[in-house]
Structure 1
Amino acid sequence: MLEELRITGLGVIDDATLPLDSGLTVITGETGAGKTMVVAGLGLLFGGRADAGRVRADVGRAVIEGRLRCSGRVAKAVAARVSEAGAEPDEDGSVLLARSVSAEGRSRAHVGGRSVPVGVLADIGARVLAVHGQSDQMRLLQPAEQLATLDRYAGADHEKLLAHYREVFAAWRRHDAELAERRANARERNQRADLLRLGLAEIGQVDPQPGEDVELRALAQRLEHTEGLRAAVAAAQQALAGDADDPTAGTDASALLGAARHELDAQAEVDEALGELSGRIEQAARLVSDVAGELASYTADLDADPARLAQVHERRAALRALTRKYAEDVDGVLAWADDAQRQLAELDSSDETLAALEAERDRLADEVAELAGRLAVSRREAAQRFGVAVSGELTGLAMPHAKVVAQVLARPPAAGTPTATVDGAPAGAGPDGADEVELQLIPHPGAPALPVQRGASGGELSRVMLAVEVVFAGAGGPPTLVFDEVDAGVGGEAAVEIGRRLALLARRHQVLVVTHLPQVAAFADRHLVVQKGSSGSVTTSGVRVVEDSERARELARMLAGLPNSDLGVAHAEELLAMARSGRGRRR
């Protein structure tokens, strides 16, 4: 949950801190006092689109900060995302989030004091927060959103089935597109394939080996400079080990080392350090002897061979012919050949390849149709449960005779897409199955079922929205829920029941509500009032937690605009008493 929210430089809010808590928190205040900016700040904090027009001109930058503390699976998911972004929670397990927006529209995000992409805040927000307002009601009217709503409600097994369906559908679409492309561009593909085959044949005829050009270059240099190499080796060998056939050739390194060792050994009894040095000279003598032996072997293997040199030059010319065409060196030529083989497989438009591709596409189409049918069955079962659950909530929201029906309809077949059979009738499969979902409202018995956008008034739509959210909350959902005036257009008994339902929702969630209704505010565990200062802006002093008599006066203001009226305060106290006694009771 969010423990604290600080907003600076956003709309009418200059610098204000909102102390938040678990349970139900309501935020009230005069129209234009800045309540909606609180919701806007939450949206920004959790990765929403930055609107530079809301940044206060006198400040030049809006900053929103919040401290987040989670538990259970949500805490593990958030901690993993925070760690992935290179940040760390504080020692107490909480995470400090921050978002800033400049007047020029530049945006920055921070998690745990570390700069991160804004998408990290959005990922965290998706796990911990759900914001509902008038715009969310409009989104609920869209068919795609209604389908997603039912899928979300259907449960984990349904979500796994849907994920599998999407994978198979994507594979079918790839195979279908590839088959169409191969058939449409067969001539160009064949021409390209012929060129690749010619190149591969030329490379195959030469049969270059990895690193062969480097090895041949070194061998050619040895063969071209045999005499010079032999003379250098002979001179070095004589300097190291002497010439057994010519005793007058001079003193060699081995003899000099032997003499040096003999002199030191003679005095080793006098000074042990000389004995140690003598040992090191012995090691040097062995090393000189080893090198002399290797030079002898080198000379034995060194042979001027004009025929071999000609072969090397011929082979290098063949390799250069390849490197002029395909790459800078032999390894690059071999890489080109590997890539050409891969391209040939992709370009293959033979009848056998097309037939195999078509068979796989048709197999995937059959699997798509089968999975779409299973999805339809799962959605119809979930729709039945969903309609009963939401209708039950509407009974307690002063709509006792209303029913919500999630109608699952078969999508009409479309050319070029797999056709599933749902209830014996053909249906066109799409990325999310072969179904369309429409939320319908039956306002009273005998009335026709109409889409919610046609059958519900603004107040009824707010209650349907709340009923849906309460049903979702029973199945889990994010720990923090925010409602921005979803009670618009509602009053009387319906407003009381909305407040009661929000209080029930707050038993398992942190619920933040921006409201104008005193009937809703009466059910709050914490009541915040936002007020503008004399300068026309909101500061920390303008955000107050109201309790006891002060809370009653705020409710009286909301009831009749008379915070100091004894009658208004008495009415407000009666409303508070009713909320306290009815918080746990469901109708």
Structure 2
Amino acid sequence: MIEYLSINGLGVIGDAAVELDPGFTVVTGETGAGKTMVVTALNLLLGARADAGAVRHGASRATVEAGFLLDAGHAAVGIASDAGAVLDEEAPDRGPGTDADAVPEPDGGAPAGGRGDVALVVTRSVGAAGSSGRSRASAGGRGVPVALLGELGEHLVAVHGQTDQLRLKSPAAQRHALDSFAGPELAETLTAYQRDFEAWRRAAAELEEITSNEQDRAREAENLQRSLEEIDDAAVREGEDEEVRALIQRLENVEELRAASLGAHTHLAGGDAADAVEIPSAEALIEAARQSLLQAPGQDDELTGLSQRLAEVGILLADASADLAGYAARLDDDAASDLDSAQSRLAELTRLMRLYGPELSDVIRWAETHRPRLEALQGDSGRIEELTAEVTRLEQRVLSGASELTRLRTAGAVTLSGLVSDELHALSMPDATFHATVTAGGQPGPHGADEVRLLLQPHAGAEPRPLGKGASGGELSRVMLALEVVLAATDPVPTFVFDEVDAGVGGEAAVQIGRRLARLARHVQVIVVTHLPQVAAFADRHLKVTKNSDGDAGFTTSDVATLEGEERVGELARMLAGRADSGSARDHARELLEASHA
């Protein structure tokens, strides 16, 4: 619901801010006072095209702001959050005299327009004609495209004006309204149908892909088979290329490595007796040093410790000597053939990495990833048979579900048509008939195979025509009021705005309009611009737009004020008799208020 509305520099309104109740709010005032600017302001907030000519004379910009209170799960909250809007999860203070508990309750229901738990502020500004300022929009303090306001508006406010009926104008919206009205049985059937339809669509798409690309898939399978066999035959291991490079480097320097290892071994183990140069053994020297320490007299702890350390060094030298001897032995005379094998292996690994990944790990992962694809391609013939049977089975379920949707929608359409027609008769349209039609036979889609249309037959003998093409602006507003009253409990948006829904009626018909607006306000917030006191008397909150002209200053300003008590009686008297101070008119105004709230 809208918690407050602020208007600055729009038309005749210089600066006005009003708080709004959850229930029924009426806006009145003399002709030309600027009542329609309230609707214009709301339309701007809903993403309507900006008119620079609507900016107040002398102002550089017109700015409109509204605060919305919404349930955390409301669709508009998700849209605003995705756009980066800042949302206040603690609803702000609504101010005095705005207790939601005071709103009349529908039979067996909760108060209409209860407090939301998320606050969203939406603003729109329009630059004056000739200025460089452009239209700007924001949601939750974040600048957004104007188109986003339109997307938010579809979930926040429904405006029904003399020339603009924004709600239920699209076939999809009309179908959704009928489906909501038809009740839970249709909702369950639609959910099951959509599940079957999606499964049918996926299976049919897969079957089409397999059968229409059979040759391409066969070629793909052949190429995959060849590639996977190549990788499997190579039996690559992760990191093997680094091992092979190290082996190649060792084999390319085999003579130098052998000489270095044997030289080191000679220094540790001593020269062979046949060597021309006698080299003492490092192991023997260490052992001799240890024996010298052991022959020292007495028991010296420090020398004993050093002796033990020399023994450990001797063991390490013996191990190193043995390892060097083994290393030299492995560098045999077949090193040339081993080098050829290692270089060939490295070339094979490099080729695989060039084809399937920069690293051997990528080659292994490529094989793991594509092996299931090959299995799927090789099973095409069996999969085609399986999918053909699945598509046939699901198609029958989809057709059966679409037929059931048609049956439920048709039954709901008959009931909806009757209820809305009854409402129209009470709204001074005695010859009008409302028709909700369901035409089946189309191709099954996500919502069935039906075309839903909402039509109006203005009088007997006339052809039913789409809403908006067979009625005047005032009549169309009444049609939408009748429809919204019937749909209120099943397909509401938080706020409804009616601009002069009572045009062309009076007397008892006006009373019936007021009564139905009050009934609608049990479920949603209702804002109405009206000239009729019979309608205004039913409101929970009465706003008056007053025009103030200053001839000397050369401008006109309109103010918006909340009326209570005798001020409201005076406004109703003015609407009844043209004079707020008429005693009989004031008495009549009090009667209207008493009767409407009885």
User: Could you give the per-residue CA deviations for residues 558-581 of structure 1, whole angstroms, max 9, x where no partner exists?
Assistant: 567x456x55x7446524522431
1:412-491 matched pairs, under 5 angstroms = 412=442, 428-441=443-456, 450-451=464-465, 453=467, 458-475=473-490, 477-491=492-506
Are positions 1:169 and 2:197 aligned together? Answer: yes
User: Is the CA contact 2:76–2:152 (under 8 Å) kept in the aligned structure 1?
Assistant: no
Secondary structure at the counterpart of residue 328 of structure 1: coil
Match of 1:8 in 2: 8
Give yes or no for the alignment of 1:545 onto 2:568. Answer: no
Query: Which deviates further from its counterpart, 529-538 or 149-158?
Result: 529-538
* 3-state secondary structure, aligned to 1:66: strand
Q: Which AA in structure 1 matches 2:194?
A: R
Q: Tell me how far apart the structure 2 counterparts of residues 294 and 62 of structure 1 sit (CA, whole Å).
A: 93
Query: Is the 8 Å Cα contact of residues 405 and 448 (structure 2) preserved in structure 1?
Result: yes
Structure-2 change in CA distance of 1:211 and 1:580 (3 Å): farther
Structure 2 partner of 1:68:
68
What amino acid maps onto 1:577 in structure 2?
E
Return the TM-score normalized by structure 1. 0.71
CA contact under 8 A between 1:411 and 1:435: conserved in structure 2? yes
Q: CA deviation at 1:124?
A: 6.5
Q: For residues 53 and 528 of structure 2, what CA distance do their matches in structure 1 show?
A: 21
RMSD: 5.0
Shift of 1:150: 0.4
Equivalent residue, structure 2, for 1:321? 351
| Deviation readout 1:526-546 (Å, 9 max, x if unpaired) | 22223455589887x712223
Q: Would you say 1:493 and 2:492 are equivalent positions?
A: no
Q: State the partner residue of 1:246.
A: 285
Say if 1:182 and 1:349, in contact at 8 Å, map to a contact too: no
Q: In the aligned structure 2, how far is the partner of 1:115 from the partner of 1:134?
A: 31
- Deviation string for 1:133-161 (max 9, x for gaps)? 35664764654443222012123442343
* Structure 2 CA distance for aligned equivalents of residues 290 and 4 of structure 1: 92
- 1:173-199: CA deviations, max 9, x gaps? 444445445544544554455444443
Question: Is the contact made by 1:397 and 1:497 (CA closer than 8 Å) also made in structure 2?
Answer: yes
Contact 1:189 1:349 in 2 (8 A): no
Q: Which residue of structure 1 lines up, in the alignment, with residue 541 of structure 2?
A: 526
Q: Runs of 5+ in structure 2 lacking a partner?
A: 92-116, 128-132, 269-280, 291-300
1:24 matches 2:24: yes
Are the structure 2 counterparts of residues 114 and 551 from structure 1 closer, same or farther at C-alpha, using a change threshold of 3 Å? same
SS at match of 2:539: coil
Query: Conserved in 2, the CA contact under 8 Å of 1:26 and 1:528?
Result: yes
For the 8 Å contact 1:14–1:537, the answer to whether it is kept is no
SS of the equivalent of 1:383 reads helix
Aligned CA distance change for structure 1 residues 377 and 214 (closer, same or farther; 3 Å): farther
What is residue 182 of structure 2 aligned with on the other side? Answer: 154
Q: Describe the shift of the 1:459–1:121 C-alpha distance in structure 2 as closer, same or farther (beyond 3 A).
A: closer
The TM-score, its normalising length taken from structure 2, stands at 0.70
Provide Cα deviations, 1:280-299, integer angstroms capped at 9, x if missing partner: xxxxx9xx999999989987
The farther-off stretch of 361-370 and 35-44 is 35-44
Larger CA Rg, structure 1 vs 2: 2
| Kept after mapping to 2: 8 A contact 1:391/1:404 | yes
Counterparts of 1:324 and 1:439 in 2: how far apart (Å)?
Answer: 65
Task: Say if 1:5 and 1:65, in contact at 8 Å, map to a contact too.
Answer: yes
Is the Cα–Cα contact under 8 Å of residues 151 and 159 in structure 1 kept in the other structure? yes
Cα distance in 2 for partners of 1:555, 1:202 equals 92
Q: Could you tell me whether the CA contact under 8 Å between 1:482 and 1:513 is conserved in 2?
A: yes
One-letter amino acid of the structure 2 residue matched with residue 542 of structure 1: D
Paired with 1:349 and 1:53, the residues of 2 have a C-alpha distance of 66
8 Å contact from structure 1 (residues 190, 349) kept in 2: no
State percent identity of aligned pairs: 42
- 1:11-69 deviation per Cα after TM superposition (whole angstroms, max 9, x unaligned): 555432122123211123455654444334445546x3564747849766554433333
The 5-angstrom pairing of residues 548-563 of structure 1 reads 548-552=565-569, 554-555=571-572, 558=575, 562-563=578-579
Checking the alignment, whether the CA contact within 8 Å between 1:438 and 1:451 is kept in structure 2 is: no
Alignment of 1:89 onto 2:78: no
Distance 1:455 1:290 in 2: 110
Partner of 1:373: 403
Q: Answer yes or no: is 1:363 the counterpart of 2:393.
A: yes
CA 1:522–1:50 in structure 2 vs 1: closer, same or farther (change >3 Å)? same
Greater Cα shift, 347-356 or 463-472: 347-356
Structure 1 residues 200-223: Cα deviation after superposition (integer angstroms, max 9, x where no partner): 443343243444445544565566
Equivalent residue letter for 1:530: V
Alignment of 1:183-222 (within 5 A): 183-214=211-242, 216-217=244-245
Q: Given that residues 33 and 538 in structure 1 are in contact (C-alpha distance below 8 angstroms), is that contact kept between their aligned partners in structure 2?
A: no
